Amino acid sequence: MSPLPTNQRGMWFEEFEVGQRIQSAGRTVTESDIVNFAGLSGDYNRIHTDAQFSSETTFGKRVAHGLLGLSIASGLAVQTGIMEDTIMAFREISAWKFRSPIHIGDTINVVIEVKEVKALPRLGGGSIVIELDVKNQRDESVMKGNWTVLIASKPEDG
């Protein structure tokens, strides 16, 4: 279970197999990430932006927006290279669960496992269901769920 080499082009539909696992690199969540995401999304909930307020909650300190964690996970998944130049469309997120908070200073990575492959010849590729398990530096799952993506088939002449 390792990232693809950085010069690897994305995988074609035919190269995906149920059970394949790939682990992304890690990324540390910063205060700047939270502040920038609040500004971008308009979500200034005090659990994310107010240290004093957050210190009195069950979390004991500020937490990252759940959707910020999901966005970072998306970037980490793309950075593995498996979909580079071969992804046709992002179709669905399903069964997504936010399990534990992500705090400032936590480093997250994504373990990707191929759950289902379905050829769609009329689209020139197929549908891939991948499970993403977002883990922190303690190897605790902080969020998890499935994505469905459309991946191009390998060209006949390539």
Please give the pLDDT value at position 97: 98
pTM summary value: 0.90
Enter the CATH code of domain 13-152. 3.10.129.10
Give 10-residue mean pLDDT values along the chain (158 residues): 55 97 98 98 97 96 98 97 95 97 98 98 97 98 98 85
Query: Could you please report the per-residue DSSP string of the chain?
Result: --PPPTTPPPPPGGG--TT-EEEPPPEE--HHHHHHHHHHH----HHHH-HHHHHTSTTSS-B--HHHHHHHHHHHHHHTSTTTTTEEEEEEEEEEEE-S--BTT-EEEEEEEEEEEEEEGGGTEEEEEEEEEEE-TTS-EEEEEEEEEEEEPPPTT-
Q: What is the pLDDT of residue 9?
A: 77
- pLDDT value at position 156? 83
